[in-house]
Structure 1
Amino acid sequence: MRTASCRQSCPLDVPKTPKISNEVRRVPRQYDQIMDWKRYERAIVEKFRREFPPPHFWVEPSGKDNYHFTGRHSGEKRQLDVAVFRRGADAPFLVVDAKRWRTPIDIGNVESFISFVDDVGAEIGVLITSSRFTKAAPRRAAGAPVSIQLEVVGAEEALAWDWLGLGRIIFPQDWAYHLHLGQALRSLEEGGSPDIISEALEEVPFEEWEAAVNFAIGQQLSEARLYLEWVATMHHDDGWRFNAARHLAEIGFLTESIRRRVIELEADPEARALITEL
């Protein structure tokens, strides 16, 4: 159970009035530039979807549209960045406000959030920022009539959650490999070396690997091509090499030099014949 506190990816059993560091967190520029507020909010949704998984909970928004809930006092539709419901419940017991800000969150922001949580009737409110909180902010949160938690999620951490969500979208049937898929696609977007991408996907089953490759081809063609060329000519497994060559042939990038190299590495005559026909 969350309590009134402030954390930075720390355990939930923290002191009621914790110490907040006013040190400005230096975020690598590449993360700061690609993590806009829309992507940040999407990442926070994924974070809570993982913390409160089905079937005992469900998390809104569940699609691309914003989620609204009518306030019990205001009678107005209130937009919720994240709403967590217990199974069978009509109202959320936990709501989240995610702020992709550069400036610190102060008392005024916390008081506004307390009022917001009260209006929607939630038991717990989590106020998340990519920056920091003022020293007085957690004291004000601790004095709220409802449980308020303050949390810092930087751009780099949010990016990791976002890619985890992408893994779920690519292959929703099995959550076990979403982390691997997300790590591989993140490395691909950042221009990571093919061997690092291959390592992230090493234990991923064939169907998940196929889904990731097809997604990468559609979104990051040049990077996907480099990865497939590396797998086709450098990977230790003949099955991986064959399937990488197959994908290269399907997108028109299987050169004769790569084909010859794949054939040279292949010991099975039937497989060599198939590669020749690609």
Structure 2
Amino acid sequence: MPTTERCARISKIVAYSSIILLIIALLVVTILSVLPNYIDDTECSEFTYPPNEMSYAHYGDGTVEVSWNIDPIDVRCGVAYNLTFIYEVAPQNQQISDLLIYEVQDLLYITWQKPQNLMGCPVTYYISYSSSLVDESTYTDIIEVRIPLDKFCFRLSIKIEVLVDWKHNSITPHEYYTTPNVENFRVDDRTESNIVLRWDPHPKGERCFLLYKIVRIINEEELEVVETRLNSYTFKFNYCEDTRFIITAFSSNSESEPVAIDATQCT
């Protein structure tokens, strides 16, 4: 065989071998890239694990964000997730009931019953109170309030709001009164020139700064008006004058009914 033909045949063999080797190399690369993702049907059919580290976040605008970790087997096995949201809304117009206001040892207690049928929803109570001597305050998440009575006088306005499911429901304000009054207004003592008037002290009068105004009327004419925070007062007095005294108790925002006594003693 001539040398030229032999060289040509060797060149063809080398070329074909190179092509075959290239094809084999491509097949190997393809197989190696697909093999890690290949899992038999048995492994996928036995996949029964729930998503791990599942969590959610509830935002004030009403949106809910749910997240969880995805295992590589989820993707390889074509696992799909169905999310079901169960949203229970608490009944509207929630009202507290049995509101009680009572005093024990100079403390004011405010108690009430929780709203019913909340369907498991969390409840927050917002309580504000105000009076003539106390700035408005707010308490959160409390069932009982104690307010020292020496911090307010005569009138306490209470408003309670129930916050359920991001809805405000206002409660009608309740009011607590310490009404000024005058009890047992009397002539305690008299002499030829003086008369002492006295009355029972109000249980909260000194602490709440009750003011007593006494009007002295002689012969149907108002001649003298005095004011005191005590529970007695002494006047200069003439037995034979037609004298009448009228007393009224005042608080910062209310007053008592006037009480009168006659003090004429001429015989």
TM beyond 0.5: no
Q: Which has the higher contact order (CA 8 A, sep 6+)?
A: 1
> TM-score, normalised on structure 2?
0.22
Structure number with the higher strand fraction is 2
> TM-score, normalised on structure 1?
0.21
